[in-house]
Structures are given as structure tokens and as C-alpha cells.
Structure 1
């Protein structure tokens, strides 16, 4: 980490936590880092506040693949994106001063709405009905019309996002070393007219997934990008691919993705 010396802190302005955050900044300065006021000037972006804060920091800084993101949780619960706790400052100093930090790389989704509006997702894209009525989506894999879905929605997750919304839909937890996306249904309706696979499925990083929303009056879905809802009007086509972009985060030795999954769920 010696060559990465410009550090930006991303956090909510909570007066109750300012002293702890100032203490972290002091440690960073003592260890030879420069605190900058803009994320664009940083080599390291430190997100304080748990997984939600980490996702917000990545989104607000533009999903940069030329910097290192560091997650610091201030919550009691375990965190999948955060390797440090805000009160465990000794662990941070030890990681900086020794060879205790490695780099992990997480794949990112590339999302296009109607061929023009473009977004990235680190966790998942979710498409849900905005009214109390099922809606219909034609699902294409590359050029193949795979199935016609009727139900409450679809979730497309990255490997790291497989532990979030996807897991609550009985999706598989996927190793982030596998660049892929997983497609899971939300309350699908299966009958003689509509028939879906009925289980989550995984697509490799060269595939393109297209969700074509049938215009039957339920044309205003809620589009979720990680932990943000997108304010949009009528949407017809959503194209999802693996972007090839990666997000780099710190990894403590003996604290792999699977250590975190075990600690969080088992």
C-alpha cells in the first residue's frame, strides 16, 4: 500500500461518529497518507458505515477500477464488504505496517435501459412491479427467447450480490472469482399460459441478458441498482452484461469471501 497515499473518507455526517472518524483520519496521517477532499483525487476511498455505505461510496465515486476501496463498519453485525471495524484501530495499523493486506477484485454489472441510459451495479439489479399486479417480462439470453415471465419481478446479481437479495430468493451463493451473473425470480406465476424455469440460473461473463417488459399497462417498474431506487418512466428493454470492470477492495489474510459468508450466515 506504500504507493497509494491519497485517501478520501466517505461517510454520513453523524455527530455521534465524528470523533471516531477523526481518529481514523489522524491514524491515516500518522501512517503517511494524505487526506483529500474529493474522491476523484484519491488512490484509496474509505467507506465508513457498513455494506450500504460501501455501495454508496462505490456508486458516488463512479465505480473506479483505478483505486482501492476500503470498507469500515460501524455496525455490530458482520459485513461482507468491510474488513475493518471503526473501533478496531490496532488492526488497521497492523495491516498498514505489515504485509497483512491483499487485494480482492469484484466483478460489476453493466446495465442499459432502452439502449441509452447506462448504469453499473456491484450487488444487483432488481426489476419489480410498482403496483399490486404482476407484470410480464420476455427474457432473452443473447439472441434466444428463453422464457416469458409473469410475476412480481426479477433480480440479477453479481457473485458478491449473491449473498443479498438473491439469497433471500433461494439463489446460490457464488464465488466472486467466477465472473458471472445470476438471475432469480420474485414470485413467478406458473400455469398453462406462463411457464418459467422456476429456479435461479447463472450466465457466464460473455452472455447478454435482455429483459423486455411487455407493455400491458404495468409499464412503470421499480428499478433497483444496488441499494438505490432509480426514478424512471416507462421502460421497455433492460440489457445486462458483465462490464469487464472490477472493483478492488482490501482483503485481510485469513478473511476471504468464504470466511465472511461463514461468519455472516453460519
Structure 2
């Protein structure tokens, strides 16, 4: 079992320097042991922005037995990053003196063509890779729901609903709701193709399948969070939820809706 005082810092190699040395020194001054392997840590800290936080969670394997937290390298707080480098000592104080609450963000599980499943904290998107619309059969719990034709589809978690999904006119969903959202990107609606025309939300017990119709779009682009997935041909993408959540540090006066307000209003 990992030592509860072990802390790992995740950041891009180009960021290593004075700022990361400062973070590590503050941690050590507060009796936290900085480790070089994330498997040995009970606290994983990303240093960068929201994109870095997503990478930290993915690269460390969506750990269920540790706490993740994000720190920005400026004074801007992100949707996943609750702290800036100038407030890092506040986070350390909160962690070491039990002044925090644990926030749990649900993830979605994605399988491409029945292969090994991967998790997403933000979203999975399926888009055309050529100057041509993509056709997708949408199935819910194994039953055909609609046939989509357009630029692509986005399936997001509640926290991911503030990203690409919101740009596709999806709703912002409270992360206390274990659900995932399906949003269309530039759908065609005519006599041949008819879709719901709006985002829809599925409960955690539903299973979604996006079946790509091979009509020239045999090589669509699929992205998991902020990372493209190198698949040469995609026939179907299966999406569901299980009990996987990401635990993060939450200050008692900084809720999800506080951060949404601060970011968009």
C-alpha cells in the first residue's frame, strides 16, 4: 500500500526548472515525500492546465487508490485545477491538516471494435477525417435509436460537459449525476437523414454504441480526452459507465458550480 505522505508531480519535461523545484521543496518542508514513480504515490499533482491534468490521470492509469489535484503555472484556475502555483502552500496545508473534501468525478469506459477498454474523464469524440460527412448508427442498449450524418459526435462525462460538448450546444451537467451526454456536431437533417437534433443524456446503467457506416469514412478520427487514438479502421465504439471515479482535492468553498461560474460568467 502506498505511503499516504508520498506525492508525485506530473508535468511536461519543458516545465522542469525553478517552479517545479519550488513545488517539491514546499512539499518536502511539509513532511511529504516526493517520489519518482506515480505507483508509489498517494497524491498525484499535475502542474500545468486542465489538459495536463487529463494527461496525468490517463498516464498514471486512472488510479482508484489515490487523490489527484491540479495546479496551474499562473494565477488562472481551471475546471480541473483548483490551485495556482501561488496557492500551492494552501493545498499542502489543507491536505496535511484534513481541511479538504474529496470530490469524485465519474469516468466513461470506451472500447473500440471490442478491443481493450480505455477510460475518459472528459469525453470521447468520433469525427470525420476527410472533407465528407460521417454516418453513424446510434444504438442504446443494443437497440437502434437514430442514424446520424454530419461532422461527428461527442460523448462526454459530467465534468467534460463544459468542454467540446458545450461547444456542440450540450448542457452543463452536475458531476454528482452519474450520467453521460451525447452531442451532435453539425448534423444533417433532411428527408434521408433525421436525428434528434439535440444533445441527450443517458444514465450510468445505459450502454451506447456508435457504429460507423463504411461509406468512404473508413478512417475516422477518435479522440479520448485530449489524445487522438491511432486506429486505422473503426467499425463501432462502445461506451458505458462503471464504478470508476477520479478522486480530487476540493476546497470547501470551491464547488464545481463555483468554477463554472468563474470560467464562463
State the TM-score, normalized to the length of structure 2: 0.96
Separation in structure 1 between the aligned mates of residue 215 and residue 92 of structure 2, nearest angstrom: 58
SS at match of 2:259: helix
Separation in structure 1 between the aligned mates of residue 243 and residue 135 of structure 2, nearest angstrom: 30
Correspondence for 2:28: 29
Q: How does 1:1-266 map to 2 (within 5 A)?
A: 4-14=4-14, 18-266=17-265
Q: Which is further off, 33-42 or 202-211? A: 33-42
Separation in structure 2 between the aligned mates of residue 209 and residue 102 of structure 1, nearest angstrom: 32
SS at match of 2:108: strand
SS at match of 2:46: strand
Distance 1:76 1:93, change over 3 A: closer
SS at match of 1:195: coil
Deviations 1:166-190 (A, max 9, x none): 1111100000000100000000000
Contact 2:140/2:206 (8 A) holds in 1? yes
Separation in structure 1 between the aligned mates of residue 145 and residue 69 of structure 2, nearest angstrom: 39
Q: Which is further off, 244-253 or 91-100? A: 91-100
Flag structure 2 segments of 5+ consecutive residues without an equivalent. Answer: none
RMSD: 1.3
Contact 2:42/2:67 (8 A) holds in 1? yes
SS at match of 2:90: helix
Separation in structure 1 between the aligned mates of residue 110 and residue 95 of structure 2, nearest angstrom: 36
Separation in structure 2 between the aligned mates of residue 9 and residue 98 of structure 1, nearest angstrom: 20
State the TM-score, normalized to the length of structure 1: 0.95
Flag structure 1 segments of 5+ consecutive residues without an equivalent. Answer: none
Figure out how many residues of one structure are paired with residues of the other and give that number: 263
How far residue 77 of structure 1 moved from its aligned partner, in angstroms, is 3.4
Contact 2:77/2:84 (8 A) holds in 1? no
Q: Which is further off, 172-181 or 108-117? A: 108-117
Separation in structure 2 between the aligned mates of residue 232 and residue 131 of structure 1, nearest angstrom: 15
Separation in structure 2 between the aligned mates of residue 69 and residue 258 of structure 1, nearest angstrom: 19
SS at match of 1:243: coil
Separation in structure 1 between the aligned mates of residue 92 and residue 34 of structure 2, nearest angstrom: 16
Runs of 4+ in 1 over 6 A off after TM superposition: none
SS at match of 1:130: coil
How far residue 76 of structure 1 moved from its aligned partner, in angstroms, is 4.4
Distance 1:33 1:97, change over 3 A: closer
Q: Which is further off, 198-207 or 20-29? A: 20-29
